[in-house]
Amino acid sequence: MIKKRKKPELLAPAGDLVRLKWALNYGADAVYIGGSMFGLRANATNFTIEEIKEATSYAHNLGKKVYVTVNIILHNQESEQLLSYLKDLEEANVDAIIVGDPTVIDVAIKNTNLEVHLSTQQSTLNREAVAFWKNQGITRIVMARETSREDLIDIINNVDIEIETFIHGAMCASMSGRCVLSNFLTARDANRGGCSQICRWEFDLKDENNNLIESEKDFTFCTKDLVMLKHIPEMMDIGIASFKIEGRMRSIYYIATVVSTYRKVIDEYWNNPENYQYNKEYEKILSNCANRESIDQFFDTTCNKDYQYYIGREEISNQDFLGVIKEYDPKTKMATVEQRNYFKIGDEVEIFGPNIDTITTTIEEIIDENDENIEVVRHPLQIVKIKVDYEVFPDNLIRKKC
Amino acid sequence: MTKIMVIPKNRKMIDNLINKSDAFLIGIENLSVNLPAYYKLNEVEEIVTFLKNNNKQIFVSLNMNIRNENLELLESTMQKLNDMDIDGILYYDMAVLNLWKKHQFKYDLVWAQEHFATNYDTCNYYNSLGIKYGLLSTEITLDEVKDIVKNTNMLLILPVFGYLPMFTSFRHLVNNYLDYFDHQKSGNNYYMEKEGKKYPLIDDNNGTFVYSGNIINGLAETIQLKEVGLDYILLNSFLIDDQKFEKIVEMFNTLDKDNVDELDNEIFDMFGNVDKGFLYKETVYKVKKND
C-alpha cells in the first residue's frame, strides 16, 4: 500500500501576464513561464524581467509560485550572459528555475540562491539518474514523458526528491532532447527553442527495397495528446509532488478550462478520497477544448497504434468558447458579455469560473449595445447583455454545453 | 595527435581495420542504440582481447535511455565490463554515471548525450565530475568545435563520417502505422521520404530511430581539426557498404593537405549523398511568426 503524501501542486503554463493571471485565478498552485532568454519556447511571447517581477508579486500575494524555464541546451558564449540573467531572476523572486543544461545548474547553484528543477529535456526515467541529479543540487525532477507508473513508484520510494510529471497536453514523439529533426530539416534548433514540429509532418514510407507503402494517409509520427484525468487519484497516492500542464502558447480559454477541471479532480479526491467517484463529464469538457484526441500515454502501457494520430481533427478547437463575463447586475440579473464565438437565443450554455459552481443555462434574452433585443451574437468581441438567473462574476467564462 | 575511432559494422570489419584505426566503438545488446551492431558480453570479451593484443583502444556504448526495470541489467553489465580491459563506456542516461561513481569502476566514461555536447562549459562540468571523454554534438559548427577543443581538458570525439542520428523514440512508430493500416511488417529497416530526400528509419525492439538523409563527410575539415588538437575523429559504418567504408577509413589514414581535394571528390563520387552537416551551417531558433 502506497502512503498518501502531501497535496500535489497543480502547475500551469503561462505565455504572458494575462494568461498567468487566468491560470492562477482558475486554480493553478504555480505557473511556469519563459523569460526573454534561454527558454525552450523561443517563439512564444515570453516575459521581460519587469514582467517576471510583476508575475511573482501577483502569484506570491495569492500564496502561489512562479517557475522560469531556463532550459535550452547552451552553445559556446551563450553562457556569458547567463549569470547576470540568473541574478535578475533571483532578484525578481522567482521560486525556481527549470533547467536542461548542467552548466545552468552549476552557475545557478554556485552564484545564486535559486532553487533548480531539472527539465524533462534530460529524459530522466530511473532512480539512479534521479539520485545523480539530486546530488548535483537539483530539488525537483520533471520526469521524462515516457515514465510509467512502475517507474514513478520505484523512484518515489527510493529517492527523497520532488517529482513532477506531465498530466495534460501535447507530447513529443521522441525522447525529449533526442530529436533534432527540426535542425536537419529546417535548420531550426530544437534544443534551443526552435522546434518546427517535424513529428506532425507527413512523409512517404518506403520499405528497405525502396517500395512505397501506400495507405489511406501518409506516414507521420504524430501522437495523440496526453490526458491523465482518470489517473489523478492514483498519481496522488503515489506521491507525485507536482502535476504539470503543457502549453505555454495556449489560449486563456484552454488554460482556464484545463486548470479548473484538474483543480476539481484534485480537490474532490483530496477532500474525500473514500467516496471519490470519477466524473466522466470532466473528460468531455477537456476533450472539447483539445487540439487533438487525447490518451493516457506511457503511464499505463507501451504506446501502440491507438496512441498515434493518423486520422482526425487538427486545429485550434476553441469553438465552444462563447464569451467572457465582464460584469453582472444582481438586480436585473443581466450579465455583460464579450463575445468569442457565435451564439444565439435558445443555446444551452455553461458558465464556469473559480468562484462559482458551473451554471447550466439557456440563452433566453440578448441585448446589444444599443439596448435592442437581438437573436444572435456573431461579431468577435461584440459586447452584449444576457439574462443569467444566478450570480456570476467578471472573468467567468461561457462555453457551449458539453 | 588526433586518433581515428571507428564504429565497425561486424566482427570481420574489426579484423580488416585493425591496422587502420586507433580505437573501436561497439554496442551491447539491449543497452545501446544508434549503432550498426550489438554484441553479447562474451562476444565483447573476445573483441576486447583481440584489440588489446593489438594495442588498440576499445569503447563500449551504453547509450540507451534506461528504465528502472533495466537497471539490474545495466549494473551487472557495467560490472562485467569492469573485469575486461576496456578503455571507456559511452553513456546517455545519468544512471550509468551514478553507478560508475558508486562502484568506482576502473574504466573511463564518455559523455555521449549526442545532441547536448554543444559547449565547452558543459564539457568542463562533466570533466570536473571525473568524466574523461566527450562525444561532441554534430549540430554545431566547425568554429564551435574548435572553440570547445581549445577551452576544455576533456578528450573530445567528433563524428566526421557517417549517417547521423536525428530521432530516438521508445515508440514503435513504423509498426504502429503498419498495424493501423493493416500492412504486413517487412523487417526493421525503412525510409521516410519528403521532397525527394530519403531518411533511413529503423523500428526495432528498442523503438524508432531516424537518421540523416546525407552522410556527413568531414574529411577536409579533419585537417583543421588535427591542427587544433581534436583528440578523436569518429567514422561510422552504420548503413554503409562494408567495402566502401573500409576504403573511407583508408582515406582518412592517408589524408594530408596534398591529397585532400582528390579524396574529397572521390568520396562524393562513391556516395553522392554526402554533405558537411552543420559544420558551416548555423541553426536558428528565434523565427518570425508564420515562418
Whether pLDDT at A3 is above 60: no
Query: Is A323 within 8 Å of A398 (Cβ atoms)?
Result: yes
- Tell me which fold the domain B3-163+213-275 belongs to: TIM Barrel (3.20.20)
Name the pLDDT band for A41 (thresholds 50, 70, 90).
Answer: low
Sheet with strand B197-204: strands edge to edge? A204-207, B189-194, B197-204, B207-211, B165-169
Residue A312 resides in a domain = no
Residue A199 resides in a domain = no
Instruction: Give the strand pairing for A9-13 and A294-295.
Output: unpaired
Which of A218-227, B15-24, B68-77 has the lowest average pLDDT? A218-227
* A287 & A161 share domain: yes
What SS3 string covers chain A? Answer: CCCCCCCCEEEEECCCHHHHHHHHHCCCCEEEEEECCCCCCCCCCCECHHHHHHHHHHHHHCCCEEEEEECCCCCCCHHHHHHHHHHHHHHCCCCEEEECCHHHHHHHHHHCCCCEEECHHHCCCCHHHHHHHHHCCCCEEECCCCCCHHHHHHHHHHCCCEEEEEEEECCCCCCCCCECHHHHHHCECHHHCCCCCHHHCCEEEEECCCCECCCCCCECCCECEEECHHHHHHHHHHCCCEEEECCCCCCHHHHHHHHHHHHHHHHHHHHCCCCCCCCHHHHHHHHHCCCCCEECHHHCCCCCHHHECCCCCCCCCCCCEEEEEEEEECCCCEEEEEECCCEECCCEEEEEECCEEEEEEECCCEECCCCCECCEECCCCCEEEEECCCCCCCCCEEEECC
DSSP-assigned letter for residue A200: G
Query: Which structural domain, as residue segments, surrounds residue A325?
Result: 321-400
Query: How near does any CA of chain B get to the CA of A219, in Å?
Result: 7
Whats the size of chain B, residue-wise? 291
Residue A208 resides in a domain = no
* A106 & A165 share domain: yes
* Residue in A79, A189, A298 closest to B119 by CB: A79
How many alpha carbons fall within 13 Å on the CB side of residue A261? 26
Considering only CA atoms, give the Rg of chain A: 23
Three-state secondary structure call for residue A377: strand
Whats the size of chain A, residue-wise? 402
Tell me the pLDDT tens digit for each residue of A113-151. 999 999 999 999 999 999 999 999 999 999 999 999 999
By C-alpha distance, the chain A residue nearest B150 is A76
Q: What is the pLDDT at residue B158? A: 98
Instruction: Give the end of a domain, one of A242, A273, A307.
Output: A307
Percent of chain A beyond pLDDT 70?
95
- DSSP H helical segments within A239-347, as ranges? 252-271, 280-288
Whether pLDDT at A301 is above 80: no
* Residue in A201, A207, A223 closest to B194 by CB: A201
Q: How far is CA B161 from CA A107, A239, A261, in A?
A: 35, 47, 52
For residue A43, list chain B residues with Cβ-Cβ distance below 8 A: 286-287, 289
Tell me the pLDDT tens digit for each residue of A141-150. 999 999 999 9
Percent of chain B beyond pLDDT 90?
94
* A233 & A366 share domain: no
For residue A116, list chain B residues with Cβ-Cβ distance below 8 A: none
Q: What is the pLDDT at residue A1? A: 43
* A351 & A377 share domain: yes
* Residue in B92, B151, B285 closest to A193 by CB: B285
Question: Which amino acid belongs to residue A309?
Answer: Y
Query: How near does any CA of chain A get to the CA of B23, in Å?
Result: 26
Whether pLDDT at A345 is above 50: yes
Instruction: Give the strand pairing for B215-217 and B155-162.
Output: antiparallel
Domain count, chain A: 2
A106 and B210: CB-CB below 8 Å?
A: no
Q: What is the DSSP string of B33-64?
A: -SSS-EE-HHHHHHHHHHHHHTT-EEEEEE-S
Query: How near does any CA of chain B get to the CA of A1, in Å?
Result: 20
Query: Is B220 within 8 Å of B142 (Cβ atoms)?
Result: no
Name the pLDDT band for A43 (thresholds 50, 70, 90).
Answer: low
B78, B102, B154, B177, best to mutate vs chain A, most A CBs in 10 Å: B177
B120 and A76: CB-CB below 8 Å?
A: yes
Residue A341 resides in a domain = yes
Cβ-Cβ contacts under 8 Å for A311 (sequence gap 6 or more): A216, A217
How many alpha carbons fall within 13 Å on the CB side of residue B199? 24
- Can you name the residues that pair with A388 across neighbouring β-strands? none
What CA–CA distance (Å, rounded) separates A133 from A131?
6
Whether pLDDT at A161 is above 60: yes
B284 and A181: CB-CB below 8 Å?
A: no
* A27 & A82 share domain: yes
For residue B136, list chain A residues with Cβ-Cβ distance below 8 A: none
* A289 & A226 share domain: yes
Whether pLDDT at A352 is above 60: yes
- Cα-to-chain-centroid distance, residue A60: 20
Q: What angle do CA B263, B267, B273 make, to 5 degrees?
A: 150
Instruction: Give the strand pairing for B88-91 and B38-39.
Output: unpaired
Cell readout for A380 is 468577435
Q: Which long-range contacts (CB under 8 A, 24 or more apart) does B143-147 make?
A: B144/A75, B144/A76, B144/B118, B144/B119, B145/B225, B145/B230, B145/B279, B146/B224, B146/B225, B146/B228, B147/A76, B147/B120
Tell me the pLDDT tens digit for each residue of A356-387. 999 999 999 999 999 999 999 999 899 999 99
Instruction: Give the end of a domain, one of A307, A336, A364.
Output: A307
- Is A354 at the interface with chain B, CB within 8 A? no
* Backbone dihedral region for residue B277 (phi beyond 0: left; psi -120 to 50: alpha; all else: beta): left
Please give the average per-residue pLDDT across A7-14, as a whole number. 97
Residue A285 resides in a domain = yes
Query: How near does any CA of chain B get to the CA of A221, in Å?
Result: 6
Name the pLDDT band for B289 (thresholds 50, 70, 90).
Answer: very low
User: Domain containing A345 — which CATH number?
Assistant: 2.40.30.10
B94, B156, B228, best to mutate vs chain A, most A CBs in 10 Å: B94
* Residue in B147, B173, B287 closest to A76 by CB: B147
* A144 & A277 share domain: yes
Mean pLDDT, chain B, rounded, equals 95
Whether pLDDT at A289 is above 90: no
Q: What is the pLDDT at residue A380? A: 87
* A156 & A282 share domain: yes
* A275 & A334 share domain: no
How many alpha carbons fall within 13 Å on the CB side of residue B97? 25
Q: What is the pLDDT at residue B102? A: 97
* A27 & A118 share domain: yes
Q: Which of residues 212-241 of A touch B (CB under 8 A)?
A: 213, 215-217, 219-221, 223
What CA–CA distance (Å, rounded) separates B290 from A353?
33
Query: How near does any CA of chain A get to the CA of B254, in Å?
Result: 30
B64, B65, B129, B212, best to mutate vs chain A, most A CBs in 10 Å: B65
What CA–CA distance (Å, rounded) separates A188 from A179?
12
Considering only CA atoms, give the Rg of chain B: 19
* A259 & A327 share domain: no
Whether pLDDT at B64 is above 90: yes
Please give the average per-residue pLDDT across A61-74, as a whole number. 95
Q: What is the pLDDT at residue B281? A: 86
Residue A185 resides in a domain = no
By C-alpha distance, the chain B residue nearest A134 is B98
A310 and B148: CB-CB below 8 Å?
A: no
Q: What is the pLDDT at residue B291? A: 35
pTM for the model stands at 0.93
For residue B284, list chain A residues with Cβ-Cβ distance below 8 A: 187-189, 194
Whether pLDDT at B290 is above 60: no
For residue A302, list chain B residues with Cβ-Cβ distance below 8 A: 170
End-to-end CA distance of chain A: 37
- Is A293 at the interface with chain B, CB within 8 A? no
- Is B285 at the interface with chain A, CB within 8 A? yes
Three-state secondary structure call for residue A195: coil
Which of A25-39, A290-304, A309-323, B27-41 has the lowest average pLDDT? A309-323
* Residue in A146, A185, A219 closest to B177 by CB: A219
- Is A183 at the interface with chain B, CB within 8 A? yes
**ipTM beyond 0.90?**
yes
Tell me the pLDDT tens digit for each residue of B207-262. 999 999 999 999 999 999 999 999 999 999 999 999 999 999 999 999 999 999 99
Please give the average per-residue pLDDT across B50-77, as a whole number. 97
* A393 & A286 share domain: no
Residue extent(s) of CATH 3.20.20.70 domains in chain B = 3-163+213-275
* Residue in B98, B178, B212 closest to A129 by CB: B98
Q: Which of residues 160-179 of A touch B (CB under 8 A)?
A: 173-175, 177-179
Q: Which of A84, A33, A85, A87 is nearest to A58 (CA)?
A: A33
